[in-house]
């Protein structure tokens, strides 16, 4: 269900608006269908207002045009017979407009927002799996796609546009969803893309270096993440108290649920809490024991690595905070599955174990290597690259981590985009004490093949950076490429 009157849509902001029948809202003039409203936003690199004539020619019956961050008055002009409404501060209001058009779909769903540098995708999908196992119907929105877990549609961004989010929530509601687990990026928070979403729970995973090309400083990056907990009146807040930033937030958020890998980090917290009491690791997964404000418990899950223990604990604490029964959650935990491209294990007997992971930040790479060292009886290999046209400061940092924590470091291309791959690798090599020992193979498939053919059956090879992605962005354009397909092929050929 959506509003069909342009006058009704803009009633909270305008007294006099033509009463035109409308069928949809579109941000892209190329997607306009007859009856749509074209929403023309001023972006960082593109001003969509220049495409108003194109949108009208395609059948737009009305236009809402961004009037910038001015304090000017709302105004209506006509382009031919089509009303064009000038809307000040529209980027911060677009979420409200979209929510009104789709009749506040988030209010009929239990919405869980996950923010942080790493772990968002895994936690969103673990929560969705857990809910599904207990009879609910959960959708996810984030990096690996939007939809129900069995049928995810690709997503361009971790957090979509304000309009896309409301449209997606309306679709989920129509399809019978009970819950939505949504990754919420720092960009999405700063740009008010989730402003009109009614969140029932919010989770903070961690904060490490990422997106400084956008935010400028770590302080600004942290402040962006904090908005999810300060601007939305979320009833359930779940914080990783082992993270330095998370610990500082927990100190001022007595109502939050504090989660830790040890009791020491949460023993002074006056609110609810959950902490790890013991854990054992095996190639088949992890066995976890915990204490909490809901009592003690134990469960197993087929996930690899220490940071996935925290992902499981944060997911569990959130569902407990939302009122789920502890015993029921623990009973179905062994049925949880690893998320594609997130510490995803590929292994045949008597062959090296390959692990595909999305780690593309220094912190994520360090955690992945530490996690895999526990499972490695031979050498630990690390194959990774760094993206072009992005934060150059993390390149030497990631190479330093690979050299320090892996036995063999293979430097390859990630998404070089418009940058020279040779320059990117040169930046990475500056972080290494012995750069001459690094293996450099720009072709990712060739790099994977080299590692697989030179590793022993007791070795573990981390293929980091691309995860679930099935493409590579080169200067010449985007091409199909998948680490997951590559390692599967290697195991089949050599298996």
pLDDT score at 494: 47
Angle between helices 362-373 and 306-321 (to 10 degrees): 110
CB atoms within 10 A of CB 53: 14
**Where is the binding site for ATP, in residues?**
116-122
What are the strands of the beta sheet with 24-26, ordered from one edge? 24-26, 36-40, 62-66, 82-87, 75-79
Print pLDDT tens along the chain (495 aa). 799 999 999 999 988 889 999 999 999 999 999 999 999 998 877 889 999 999 999 999 999 999 875 555 568 888 989 999 998 888 889 999 999 999 999 999 999 999 998 889 999 999 999 999 999 999 999 988 999 999 899 887 777 899 999 999 999 999 999 999 999 988 888 888 999 999 999 999 998 755 445 545 777 778 888 989 988 899 999 999 999 999 999 999 999 999 999 999 999 999 999 999 999 987 778 999 999 999 999 999 999 888 899 999 999 999 999 999 999 999 999 999 988 898 998 988 899 999 999 999 898 899 999 999 988 889 999 999 999 999 899 999 999 999 999 999 999 999 999 999 999 999 999 999 999 999 999 999 999 999 999 999 999 999 999 999 999 999 999 999 999 999 999 998 643
**Where is the binding site, in residues?**
27, 116-122, 157-159, 185, 191, 193, 390, 414-417, 465, 469
Give the Cα separation of 158 and 5 in Å (integer). 31
**Where is the binding site for meso-2,6-diaminopimelate, in residues?**
390, 414-417, 465, 469
53, two tokens: 């004539």
pLDDT score at 211: 46
Task: Please name each of the domains of the chain with its CATH number.
Answer: 6-100 (3.40.1390.10), 105-335 (3.40.1190.10), 344-494 (3.90.190.20)
Q: Are 21 and 109 in contact (CB under 8 A)?
A: no
């Amino acid at each position: 269900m959506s509003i069909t009157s342009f006058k009704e849509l803009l009633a909270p902001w305008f007294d006099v608006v033509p009463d035109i029948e409308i069928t949809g809202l579109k941000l892209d003039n190329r997607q306009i269908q007859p009856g749509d409203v074209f929403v023309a936003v001023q972006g960082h690199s593109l001003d969509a207002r220049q495409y108003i004539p194109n949108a009208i020619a395609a059948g737009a019956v009305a236009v809402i045009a961004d009037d910038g961050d001015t304090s000017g008055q709302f105004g209506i002009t006509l382009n031919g017979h089509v009303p064009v409404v000038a809307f000040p501060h529209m980027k911060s209001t677009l979420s409200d407009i979209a929510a009104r058009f789709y009749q506040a779909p988030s209010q009929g769903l239990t919405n869980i927002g996950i923010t942080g540098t790493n772990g968002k995708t895994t936690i969103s999908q673990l929560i969705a799996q857990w809910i599904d196992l207990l009879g609910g119907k959960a959708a996810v929105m984030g990096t690996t796609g939007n939809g129900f877990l069995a049928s995810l549609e690709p997503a361009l961004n971790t957090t979509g546009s304000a309009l896309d989010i409301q449209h997606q929530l309306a679709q989920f509601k129509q399809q019978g969803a009970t819950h939505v687990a949504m990754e919420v990026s720092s960009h999405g928070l700063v740009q008010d893309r989730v402003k009109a979403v009614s969140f029932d729970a919010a989770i903070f995973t961690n904060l490490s270096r990422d997106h400084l090309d956008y935010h400028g400083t770590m302080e600004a990056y942290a402040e962006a993440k904090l908005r999810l907990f300060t601007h939305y009146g979320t009833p359930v807040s779940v914080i990783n108290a082992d993270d330095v930033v998370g610990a500082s937030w927990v100190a001022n958020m007595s109502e939050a649920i504090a989660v830790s890998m040890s009791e020491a980090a949460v023993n002074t917290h006056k609110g609810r809490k959950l902490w790890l009491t013991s854990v054992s690791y095996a190639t088949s997964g992890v066995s976890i024991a915990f204490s909490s404000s809901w009592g003690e418990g134990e469960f197993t899950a087929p996930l690899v690595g220490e940071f996935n223990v925290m992902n499981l604990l944060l997911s569990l604490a959130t569902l407990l905070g939302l009122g789920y029964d502890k015993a029921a959650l623990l009973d179905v935990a062994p049925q949880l599955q690893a998320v594609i491209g997130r510490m995803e294990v590929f292994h045949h007997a008597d062959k090296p174990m390959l692990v595909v992971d999305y780690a593309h930040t220094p912190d994520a790479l360090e955690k992945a290597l530490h996690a895999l060292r526990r499972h490695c009886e031979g050498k630990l290999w690390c194959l990774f690259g760094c993206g072009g046209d992005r934060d150059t400061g993390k390149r030497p940092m990631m190479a330093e981590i690979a050299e320090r924590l892996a036995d063999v470091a293979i430097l390859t291309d990630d998404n070089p985009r418009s940058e020279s791959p040779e320059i990117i690798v040169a930046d990475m090599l500056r972080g290494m004490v012995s750069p001459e020992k690094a293996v450099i193979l720009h072709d990712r498939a060739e790099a994977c093949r080299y590692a697989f053919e030179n590793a022993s059956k007791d070795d573990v090879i981390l293929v980091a950076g691309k995860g679930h992605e099935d493409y590579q962005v080169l200067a010449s354009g985007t091409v199909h490429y998948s680490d997951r397909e590559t390692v599967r092929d290697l195991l089949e050929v050599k298996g």
